[in-house]
């Protein structure tokens, strides 16, 4: 259901992680009418007692330790933890048998869990932000939709609460408003990983002083109309900042449990322009995509991943160093949407694969560009070298990009290097977009008057080769001058 509400008879309240839509009590739905109000308690500590089977384990895996809180990362089917039905992936273990886990190492907590007692009492608290990036419980249904899993997890996170706690929550949330009984809350939208749009759905037409917010489970705020442009811009700014702050918190918390090569550098929404030949009949030409930069991967989803298995359900998955991001100026936009980019990748073909995306704000686009460049620097620095099969003067060769050695050509039949140059020796490069790649190097040894040497190679993966060369150049520049991209953003 979609509801249009005018700001003169509506009040929006923004708290730490949710947006509440309120109407004057006289205009609010009566009891029994559809108001879309959710009742959810703040996450509280729960106590769960596990009964250990003789000679068996509890059936949980944990991550964290010392400065990072201990969390459950996996629950094994059929084991004591699974049989209780009261423990969930993403639960932080606060105490084991009434002994605090704070400051203890991972191994120390493991030993606490391995106590010889037939019963182990755990005090836990659910940490929602990191759940999507941990292993899910193997007994969960693989057929559930993201919406169903989200609703299920909401129910799970409430497990173990006492009847008294639930009663207090019901009593507190049944009141129209704690501070003002003239207003009634008719809708609450959770802001972590929320999607906000000022466009008519699926189009490039901007709404007039109006916007829509959708939570991670697909719940909509309805179309929120503001009485003037000033109010409209203020609300957009407030909501955007809250969403970004919550997303940043989620990234920071999740990265504590991920290896260096898996670190998340960006999460957020973009809209993709779908070509007529690719979209289903009657579907929107602009469709939302959830974007994650994780390690060297660019991941695009139809819905935010709610667990680790969802991370494998990408609409698109590319390596950042095989990809180029090109900002689109106003003269070259495909329609009226602003803040647009082309995302190009070489793939396994000679011709690049191209996707056209739009960000809701210029700040979001700039933030993504910075994260993308950081992602390239980190991944290339870790990779150090990459070789592409090619042909040079009719001979099978490999062109090598190396952070220390620069650009070189390896002759396969003779197993020797034909030529080698530093990155800074590259004067220019051109390609035909199909197979031929020409590099011009400065070379004081050259007999040419201008001291330039021209090298021409042919490669079946031409665009991937070109994008990788750009990635290595970027990594070299950032390594020498970390602030270079702040002063000279790539376009």
Provide the pLDDT for residue 141. 40
Average pLDDT, the chain: 82
Q: What is the mean pLDDT of residues 105-110?
A: 89
Tell me whether residue 129 is in a domain. yes
Tell me whether residue 200 is in a domain. yes
Angle at which helix 362-383 crosses helix 229-255, to 10 degrees, equals 20
pTM over 0.75: no
What is the rounded CA–CA span in Å between residue 414 and residue 412? Answer: 6
> 37 and 169: one domain?
yes
> 70 and 14: one domain?
no
Provide the pLDDT for residue 274. 94
- Asked whether the predicted pLDDT for residue 7 surpasses 80, the reply is no
Q: What's the gap between Cα 378 and its chain centre?
A: 17
Provide the pLDDT for residue 64. 84
What is the rounded CA–CA span in Å between residue 120 and residue 97? Answer: 6
- Asked whether the predicted pLDDT for residue 292 surpasses 90, the reply is yes
Q: What is the mean pLDDT of residues 431-445?
A: 92
> How open is the CA angle 170-95-92, to the nearest 5 degrees?
65
Provide the pLDDT for residue 486. 65
- Asked whether the predicted pLDDT for residue 127 surpasses 80, the reply is no
Q: Which of 340-349, 360-369, 434-443 has the lowest mean pLDDT?
A: 340-349
Contacts 24+ apart (CB under 8 A), 16-20: 17/190, 17/191, 17/192, 17/242, 17/246, 18/188, 18/189, 18/190, 18/191, 19/188, 19/189, 19/191, 19/194, 19/213, 19/221, 19/239, 19/242, 20/185, 20/187, 20/188, 20/189
Provide the 10 A C-beta neighbour count for residue 139.
Answer: 11
> 269 and 370: one domain?
yes
Tell me whether residue 254 is in a domain. no
CA distances from 124 to 36, 109, 118, 254, 422 (A): 30, 14, 19, 18, 56
3 state DSSP class of 93? strand
pLDDT, one tens digit per residue, over 113-122 is 887 678 899 9
> 377 and 389: one domain?
no
What is the rounded CA–CA span in Å between residue 168 and residue 172? Answer: 6
Instruction: Say if residues 193 and 247 touch (Cβ distance below 8 Å).
Output: yes
End residue of a domain, out of 356, 382, 408: 382
- Spatial CA neighbour of 368 closest among 404, 400, 421, 325: 325
Provide the pLDDT for residue 337. 96
pLDDT level of residue 279 (50, 70, 90 thresholds): confident
Q: What is the mean pLDDT of residues 119-141?
A: 68
- Spatial CA neighbour of 67 closest among 29, 119, 103, 21: 103
Provide the pLDDT for residue 406. 96
With tokens 């990983």, the residue in question is 193
> 440 and 351: one domain?
no
End residue of a domain, out of 215, 241, 267: 241
pLDDT level of residue 178 (50, 70, 90 thresholds): very low
Q: Which two tokens stand for residue 91?
A: 């639960």
Provide the pLDDT for residue 349. 61
Tell me whether residue 306 is in a domain. yes
Provide the pLDDT for residue 180. 56
> 374 and 263: one domain?
yes
Q: Which residue has the higher pLDDT, 227 or 472?
A: 472
> 277 and 355: one domain?
yes
pLDDT, one tens digit per residue, over 451-463 is 899 999 999 999 9
Tell me whether residue 310 is in a domain. yes
- Asked whether the predicted pLDDT for residue 469 surpasses 60, the reply is yes
Provide the pLDDT for residue 137. 42
> 323 and 427: one domain?
no
Domain that holds residue 459: 385-464+473-487
- Spatial CA neighbour of 433 closest among 403, 466, 457, 402: 466
Provide the pLDDT for residue 489. 57
> 223 and 89: one domain?
no
Tell me whether residue 446 is in a domain. yes
Provide the pLDDT for residue 115. 77
> 85 and 97: one domain?
yes
Tell me whether residue 445 is in a domain. yes
> 123 and 191: one domain?
no
What is the rounded CA–CA span in Å between residue 120 and residue 164? Answer: 25
Check which CATH number belongs to the domain holding 310 and give it. 2.30.29.30
> 267 and 328: one domain?
yes
pLDDT, one tens digit per residue, over 80-93 is 888 888 888 888 99
Tell me whether residue 248 is in a domain. no
- Asked whether the predicted pLDDT for residue 392 surpasses 80, the reply is yes
End residue of a domain, out of 126, 160, 194: 160
Dihedral, CA of residue 62, residue 70, residue 141 and residue 150, to nearest 10: -160
Provide the pLDDT for residue 37. 40
Instruction: For the chain, state the CA radius of gyration.
Output: 27
pLDDT level of residue 164 (50, 70, 90 thresholds): very low
The single-letter DSSP state of residue 320 is G
- Asked whether the predicted pLDDT for residue 150 surpasses 70, the reply is no
236-257 exposure pattern, b = at least 16 Cβ within 10 A, e = fewer? beebbebbbebbeebbebbbeb
Domain count for the chain, please give it. Answer: 4
Check which CATH number belongs to the domain holding 57 and give it. 2.30.42.10
């Amino acid at each position: 259901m979609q509801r249009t509400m005018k700001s003169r008879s509506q009040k929006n309240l923004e708290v730490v992680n949710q947006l509440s839509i309120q109407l004057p009590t006289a205009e609010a739905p009566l009891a029994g009418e559809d108001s879309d109000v959710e009742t959810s308690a703040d996450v509280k500590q729960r106590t769960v007692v596990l009964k250990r089977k003789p000679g068996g384990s509890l059936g949980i895996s944990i991550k964290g330790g010392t400065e990072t809180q201990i969390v459950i990362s996996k629950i094994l089917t059929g084991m004591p933890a699974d049989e209780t039905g009261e423990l969930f992936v993403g639960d932080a273990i606060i105490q084991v048998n009434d002994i605090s886990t704070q400051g203890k190492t991972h191994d120390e907590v493991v030993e606490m869990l391995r106590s010889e007692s037939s019963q182990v009492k755990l005090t836990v608290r659910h940490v929602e932000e990191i759940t999507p990036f941990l292993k899910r419980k193997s007994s969960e249904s693989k057929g559930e939709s993201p919406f169903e899993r989200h609703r299920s997890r909401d129910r799970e996170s409430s497990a173990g609460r006492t009847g008294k706690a639930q009663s207090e929550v019901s009593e507190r949330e049944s009141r129209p408003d704690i501070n003002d009984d003239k207003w009634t809350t008719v809708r609450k939208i959770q802001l972590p990983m929320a999607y906000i749009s000022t466009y008519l759905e699926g189009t490039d037409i901007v709404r007039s002083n109006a916007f829509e917010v959708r939570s991670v489970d697909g719940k909509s705020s309805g179309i929120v109309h503001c009485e003037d442009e000033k109010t409209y811009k203020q609300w957009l700014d407030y909501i955007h900042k809250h969403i970004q702050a919550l997303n940043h918190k989620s990234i920071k918390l999740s990265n504590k449990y991920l290896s260096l090569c898996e670190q998340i550098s960006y999460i957020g929404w973009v809209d993709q322009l779908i070509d007529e030949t690719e979209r289903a009949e009657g579907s929107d030409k602009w469709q939302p995509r959830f974007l994650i930069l994780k390690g060297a991967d660019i991941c695009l989803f139809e819905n935010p991943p709610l667990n680790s298995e969802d991370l494998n359900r990408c609409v698109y998955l590319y390596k950042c160093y095989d990809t180029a991001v090109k900002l689109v100026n106003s003269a070259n936009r495909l329609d009226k949407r602003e803040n647009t980019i082309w995302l190009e990748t070489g793939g396994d073909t000679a011709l690049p694969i191209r996707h056209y995306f739009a960000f809701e704000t210029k700040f979001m686009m700039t933030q993504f560009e910075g994260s993308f460049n950081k992602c390239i620097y980190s991944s290339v620095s870790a990779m150090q070298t990459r070789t592409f099969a090619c042909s040079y003067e009719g001979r099978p060769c490999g062109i090598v990009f190396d952070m220390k050695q620069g650009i070189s050509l390896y002759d396969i039949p003779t197993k020797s290097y034909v030529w080698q140059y530093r990155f800074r020796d590259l004067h220019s490069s051109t390609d035909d977009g199909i197979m031929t790649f020409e590099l011009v190097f400065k070379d004081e040894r050259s007999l040419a008057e201008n001291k330039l040497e021209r090298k021409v190679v042919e490669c079946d993966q031409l665009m991937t080769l070109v994008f990788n060369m750009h990635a290595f150049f970027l990594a070299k520049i950032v390594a020498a001058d970390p602030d270079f991209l702040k002063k000279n953003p790539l376009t």
